[in-house]
Amino acid sequence: MKRTFLILFILIFAEVGSITVFSFSTAPVQPIKYSHKAHLDQGLECDECHIYVKTQTFASIPKISQCLECHEDAITESEEEEKIRTIAAQGGELKWERVFRLPSHVYFSHRRHVVAGEIECISCHGDMGALTEPPKKPLKTLVMEDCIDCHKKRNAKWDCMDCHK
């Protein structure tokens, strides 16, 4: 009986015809279809939008004011670009969903790695510059061994307490 109920539940709530009613997907929904590729092709660097990447532990997610520095007036006919001005006119902010996350017990400093270590963003984040819309999941899944291998290659400290605080 329990098994029949479970199967019935799955059939009813998982799909109705070809329309998905219930989804197990946790892919983030971003406010605009931001193209890293288009912006990098125009000569922008990562730190022009992720403004704290060289000065803080975190890189930062761009605020709408940063977008408006270039997009206050239309420079393309993109609907996505127009969304920026519409949200700004309403006094809103771009509500980006984080895609890259480290466990809460891991300390990571972007400044230390990007400036002192001279590590390129692509090393940990993957080829974001090739994307024409935001990623649904991290392009690279890092595990502790990746970090240790990188530290060993660069003759950097890799004491447990440096990262696990």
The answer to whether 80 and 43 are in contact (CB under 8 A) is no
Give the residue extent of every domain in the chain.
31-61+97-165, 62-95
The answer to whether 100 and 48 are in contact (CB under 8 A) is no
DSSP 8-class letter at 112: I
Cα–Cα distances in angstroms (integers) from residue 150 to residues 57, 58, 109, in the given order: 18, 20, 15
Read off the amino acid at residue 46. C
Helices and strands (H and E) in the chain: how many: 9, 2
Structure tokens at 39: 């912006």
The answer to whether 147 and 162 are in contact (CB under 8 A) is no
Q: Which residues contact 91 (CB under 8 A, 6 or more apart)?
A: none
Residue 75 Rama label (left phi>0; alpha psi -120 to 50; beta): alpha
Q: What backbone phi and psi angles, to 5 degrees, belong to 128?
A: -60, -30
Torsion of CA 152, 155, 156, 160, to 10 degrees: 40
CA distance 32 to 34: 5
CA distance 71 to 11: 46
CA distance 156 to 142: 18
The answer to whether 38 and 130 are in contact (CB under 8 A) is no
Per-residue pLDDT of the chain (165 residues; tens, 9 = 90+): 555 444 444 443 343 333 333 334 578 999 999 999 999 999 999 999 999 999 999 999 999 999 999 999 999 999 999 999 999 999 999 999 999 988 999 999 999 999 999 999 999 999 999 999 999 999 999 899 999 999 999 999 989 998 998
Q: What is the pTM of this model?
A: 0.77
